[in-house]
Structure 1
Amino acid sequence: MDTYSWMRELADSWVLLAMFVFFLGVVVWAFRPGSRKDHEESAHLIFRNEKTPAGAGLEEAEK
């Protein structure tokens, strides 16, 4: 058996299975119980300084 055939057989069977198991693990991890708080915090992270910009206090301190 040459190298190409062996690598092709490996990729068609075991690597495909490993990628599928990894995908299922990521999906289960994303939808695990108790992760709603983490996802909501990440989703609202860009709006944290919406009312007051992050560097607003620095300009007044320099004057």
Structure 2
Amino acid sequence: METYTAMRHFADSWGLLAMAVFFVGAVLFTLRPGSRKQADAAARIPLEDDTP
């Protein structure tokens, strides 16, 4: 039972911090300068005609 308590304490503190840092990093990565061009190119991929 002690292992459960230790793991829960870890998840409640450091796990939450890790998820928050990941979220902020993902938002900053998405909003970085120059990402608009890459996002637009990726959005057009399904519309491209690949047939020869």
TM norm structure 1:
0.74
Structure 2 residue 23 is matched with structure 1 residue 19: no
- Which residue does 1:34 correspond to in 2? 34
By how many angstroms is 1:47 displaced?
Answer: 1.2
Greater helix proportion: 2
TM-score after normalising by structure 2: 0.88
Q: Which has the larger radius of gyration?
A: 1
Question: How many aligned residue pairs are there?
Answer: 52
Deviation at 1:2, TM superposition (A): 1.2
- Aligned partner of 1:8 in structure 2 is 8
Gapped regions of structure 2 (runs ≥ 5) = none
What is the root-mean-square deviation of aligned Cα atoms in Å? 1.6
Letter in 2 for 1:13: S
C-alpha separation between the residues in 1 aligned to 2:35 and 2:9?
38
Question: How far apart are 1:45 and its partner, in Å?
Answer: 1.0
Identity %: 48
